[in-house]
């Protein structure tokens, strides 16, 4: 797996979870701003950006929070 201590994994899980919450808060704000901008390509780009931002933070939070099992190895593929 990796050489990080349990404490480091917990800290990573917490910090990436905080990032996920921030992304969840920011996503509707960004989408609303893009919608009001009135430019379809800008809105599509914002949708792609916010979706991938949410998925990256979710994958990373799950990976760093999961116990050392085969599932963690699969989550590592999504995180890295």
8 A C-beta contact, residue 27 and residue 42 = no
The answer to whether residue 19 is domain-embedded is yes
The answer to whether residue 63 is domain-embedded is yes
Where does residue 67 rank: exposed (0-12), middle (13-18), buried (19+ CB within 10 A)? exposed
- Could you report the per-residue pLDDT of 2-53, keeping only the tens digit for each? 578 889 999 999 999 999 999 999 999 999 999 999 899 999 999 999 999 9
* Number of neighbours of residue 33 by Cβ within 10 angstroms: 12
Q: Is the Cα torsion angle 25, 27, 28, 34 positive or negative in sign?
A: positive
Domain count, the chain: 1
Which pTM was predicted?
Answer: 0.85
Check residue 79 and give its pLDDT.
85
Query: What is the residue range of 30's domain?
Result: 6-79
The answer to whether residue 1 is domain-embedded is no
- Could you report the per-residue pLDDT of 2-14, keeping only the tens digit for each? 578 889 999 999 9
């Amino acid at each position: 797996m990796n050489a990080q201590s349990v404490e480091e994994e917990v800290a990573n899980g917490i910090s990436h979870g905080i990032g996920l919450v921030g992304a969840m808060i920011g996503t509707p704000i960004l989408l609303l701003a893009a919608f009001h901008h009135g430019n379809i390509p800008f809105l599509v780009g914002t949708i792609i950006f916010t979706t991938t931002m949410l998925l990256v933070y979710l994958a990373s939070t799950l990976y760093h929070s999961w116990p050392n099992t085969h599932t963690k190895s699969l989550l590592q593929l999504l995180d890295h």
